[in-house]
Structure 1
């Protein structure tokens, strides 16, 4: 029984005060347990305002505030509580790969974790954030504002290889799994929402963006189409690309992660797999034994410089 249900049951005299207290006590135990757990985590504060939860996270020498309804920031917070890291594959490396005065695209920005972190760590960088789901987009905007960051370059659109309205499957209990396919990651409660998608190349032309230095792409299986719609920009700008590739997600779109590797290899990019144990290695293809989920794609001419910045890199 949820807390509100306990209160309502007591008000209706369906349960006694003793029974209500007995139902509430396990929740209080969890709160005390959580209080003890965060002492050794990078979460320094948790605030409840009646509607949202605001987490204050000490990350990469920056203080990050993250606001969301229940479920919306499940990955960031659960990773911290489980492992005391946010993105173990890129700890201490992500920001070193972004040059000064860079133009960064955060594609699939969700509620803004990467957009906020990059903008706070690199005040000179221009971060363009893309989130097609309006509900999630509002939290992206709110989190930028919470961290005193500009909302000038946030866009309520998705990027793909077409310019059109597209159906997305959205579940507000797990906003990060929104996708153009029904992935049923949490349960069957997804709702269909029509969203605007644009080709990356066309967006850059329309916005007069002449170069992009770094692309982060996490769009729950549709990564191949993002890159296919941005081949002109990628070929011209030669950005470093940080992306997720999961076989189970890409199969819902009828392609394999190796199709991304081949597509970017045609532009002379090298794939580096990022393991959760901190190891990083050049990867020629994804197979059934591949455990990594996150990858870097590096232009061949930037490979030596990039590898020198990667902790845990092995060529084996």
Structure 2
């Protein structure tokens, strides 16, 4: 327990507010102890989430408050009131809800979550908040083509697509590709896409090849980590695909409020890929 708290305090927001962090830490331990479900908790001054004892994402939110420091700050400063945003692999919706703070009735958020349990939680978390903007929730996965695929079940935020001959616990889900989805919804340009799909990031990018080649997506946030083994993809394959389509891997420096090119390395998992640095850095 002590080691968990020490790790917790290392997070940037928690360093600034250690007492609040400690209260949230103890609160989560009680939620786990009593196996509480759908506990309504206030975050970020004016947003609410249903917290569940069996949700890793609930724990992550309770522990960190500002879940992904660099990424959340970039979203806060970059998005405009009328931005069009995609949250691919939305889980219970903490990115979707954070993004909602930045847009108004002219903006759009398109959230995708194929897991039935997490999609229900996403929908509930959207419903308890009074949002401006247009929200589109999709109980589907995003990949390189439309159709149906198998996905694991029972791994909370770590469920992922699997081959058709997979013999473990799984379910059949609907799958869409970005290009077709955007055509169907008359979307010509996307300001920001967040992708967290447990190793299948390259398939998502391939399904949006027209958007990418036309430079119609300004910024994409994605992960490069050990989950790539789920799809048999290597970091080199993602790097090559991204760079061949004219995008650059970047990090966000919140002190200068700038997106900065970076070499993919083992020290980090989240990256921004950007087609036009000058435009993005007008934030």
Residue 91 of structure 1: how far off its partner (Å): 4.5
C-alpha contact (below 8 Å) 2:81/2:104 kept by paired residues: no
Residue 294 of structure 1: how far off its partner (Å): 0.3
3-state SS in 2 of match to 1:122? coil
Within 5 Å, which residues of 2 pair with 1:12-51? Answer: 39-41=19-21, 51=37
3-state SS in 2 of match to 1:92? helix
The answer to whether structure 1 residue 86 and structure 2 residue 60 are counterparts is no
The answer to whether structure 1 residue 70 and structure 2 residue 53 are counterparts is yes
Q: Structure 2: how far apart are the matches of 1:151 and 1:134? A: 22
C-alpha contact (below 8 Å) 1:76/1:86 kept by paired residues: no
Residue 280 of structure 1: how far off its partner (Å): 7.4
The answer to whether structure 1 residue 110 and structure 2 residue 53 are counterparts is no
**Which residue of structure 2 lines up, in the alignment, with residue 155 of structure 1?**
138
**Which residue of structure 1 lines up, in the alignment, with residue 43 of structure 2?**
57
Instruction: Give every structure 1 segment of 4 or more consecutive aligned residues whose post-TM-superposition deviation is greater than 6 Å.
Output: 44-49
C-alpha contact (below 8 Å) 1:141/1:151 kept by paired residues: no
The answer to whether structure 1 residue 304 and structure 2 residue 278 are counterparts is yes
Q: 1:51 to 1:84 in 2, by over 3 A?
A: closer
Residue 235 of structure 1: how far off its partner (Å): 2.8
Computed over aligned residues only, the root mean square deviation of the Cα atoms, in angstroms, reads: 3.4
Match of 1:98 among 79, 82, 103: 79
Match of 1:180 among 161, 170, 195: 161
Unaligned stretches of 5+ residues in structure 2: 1-16
Report how many residues are paired: 254
**Which residue of structure 2 lines up, in the alignment, with residue 131 of structure 1?**
113
Per-residue CA shift, 1:182-220, capped at 9, x if unaligned? 9xxxxxxx8312110011111111222222111111111
**Which residue of structure 1 lines up, in the alignment, with residue 224 of structure 2?**
245
Q: Structure 1: how far apart are the matches of 2:127 and 2:110? A: 15
Q: Structure 2: how far apart are the matches of 1:91 and 1:216? A: 11
3-state SS in 2 of match to 1:144? helix
Q: Structure 2: how far apart are the matches of 1:206 and 1:305? A: 27
